[in-house]
């Protein structure tokens, strides 16, 4: 492979650090960049001062240039504000997907162009492969437990032509072993968890500070009132804990009506649906045929189930628990990503 100019998104974690190290080892002209995305309180993501310092120190060890790009305004506008607005309307957004869509593979890919870099690389656990027909494809990672292809399912073929995932062929154990062999300072650093702009356990407080409180009723599937709440932002479809009601048996949130601030609860079987309305479909290549059997994944670490995409709806082979509006649906053909959609109301 010819040496290329590669911009590596370095979060300060071990995966992106090893991605950069592997590319240096392969002889590429590598530049590291860390994104400043959130200026507020954070203890669970990749936006802290210590994360930037970890990335900077690894870049220095690898003897590559390192820069920090400030995208806080764009992040607030395209990730944080939509996140808050979604909860205010009873939806449940996926901010990591929005960040990938607008920031990491939007603004940053544009910046790579401006810097004359042919490739943008990240530490995501996913595989970019070239098929027998010459088309680039996105595949699940070698390490199934760490696979992140779900949050990348909105990428197009044009984007994938410019993006590399160097650690996708490695298990997490192999990534850490390589980092230890290189004596990287973050070799055993824990993975980032949760939403990067919200502290652990702080979602309700974060939303309470930004979404006007509007009290409402909690009703059962027959319409009988079983409790009250202080705001719909603290609920999501499928939620079981923290409902603030005592019914003697397990109850789940099965619906949220933002217009009346009503939360409906029911049994687990009340969540089952045979179809799922979706919109905003994107596909790596071609739109699948209506009768094409697909694997459908509705959560980052959920199990993919059988279904078909028919006229704006996912039709499941067997009924599945309802998915919260605003969530991403990823479509697979085996281990290959076909595309994605967003769950509608």
Catalytic residue numbers read 99, 196
Q: How many CB atoms lie within 10 A of CB 193?
A: 10
196-218 residues labelled b (16+ CB within 10 A) or e (exposed):
bbbbeebbeebbeeebeeeebbb
Q: Which of 133, 102, 136, 134 is nearest to 119 (CA)?
A: 136
Q: Which of 95, 78, 82 is nearest to 194 (CA)?
A: 95
**CA pair distance 116, 14, nearest whole angstrom:** 26
**CA pair distance 280, 303, nearest whole angstrom:** 22
Kindly tell me the sign of the dihedral angle through the C-alpha atoms of 146, 28, 179, 177. Answer: positive
**CA pair distance 18, 58, nearest whole angstrom:** 9
Instruction: Please give the distance of CA 165 from its chain centroid, rounded to a whole number.
Output: 15
């Amino acid at each position: 492979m010819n040496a290329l100019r590669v911009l590596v998104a370095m979060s300060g974690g071990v995966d992106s650090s090893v991605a950069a190290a592997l590319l240096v080892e392969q002889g590429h002209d590598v530049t590291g960049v860390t994104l400043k995305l959130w200026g507020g309180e954070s203890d669970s993501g990749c936006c802290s001062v210590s994360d930037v310092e970890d990335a900077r120190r690894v870049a220095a060890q690898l003897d590559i240039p390192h820069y920090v790009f400030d995208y806080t305004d764009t992040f607030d506008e395209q990730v944080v504000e939509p996140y808050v607005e979604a909860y205010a309307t009873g939806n449940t957004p996926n901010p990591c997907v929005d960040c990938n869509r607008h920031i990491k593979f939007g603004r940053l890919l544009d910046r790579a162009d401006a810097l004359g870099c042919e490739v943008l690389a990240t530490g995501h656990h996913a595989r970019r492969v070239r098929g027998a027909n010459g088309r680039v494809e996105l595949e699940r990672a070698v390490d199934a437990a760490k696979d992140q292809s779900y949050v990348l399912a909105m990428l197009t073929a044009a984007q994938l032509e410019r993006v590399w995932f160097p650690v996708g062929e490695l298990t997490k154990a192999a990534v850490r072993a390589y980092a230890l062999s290189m004596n990287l300072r973050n070799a055993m650093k824990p993975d980032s968890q949760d939403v990067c702009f919200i502290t652990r356990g702080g979602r309700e407080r974060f939303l309470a500070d930004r979404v006007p409180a509007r009290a409402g009723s909690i009703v059962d599937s027959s319409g009988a009132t079983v409790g009250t709440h202080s705001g719909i932002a603290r609920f999501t479809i499928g939620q079981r804990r923290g409902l603030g009601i005592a019914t003697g048996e397990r109850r789940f949130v099965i619906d949220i009506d933002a217009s009346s601030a009503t939360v409906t609860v029911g049994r687990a079987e009340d969540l089952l649906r045979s179809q799922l309305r979706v919109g905003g479909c994107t596909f790596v290549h071609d739109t699948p045929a209506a009768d094409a059997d697909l694997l459908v994944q509705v959560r980052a670490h959920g199990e993919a189930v059988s279904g078909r995409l028919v006229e704006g709806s996912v039709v499941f082979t067997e009924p599945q628990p309802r998915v919260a509006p605003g969530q991403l649906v990823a479509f697979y053909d085996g281990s290959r990503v076909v595309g994605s959609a967003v769950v509608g109301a």
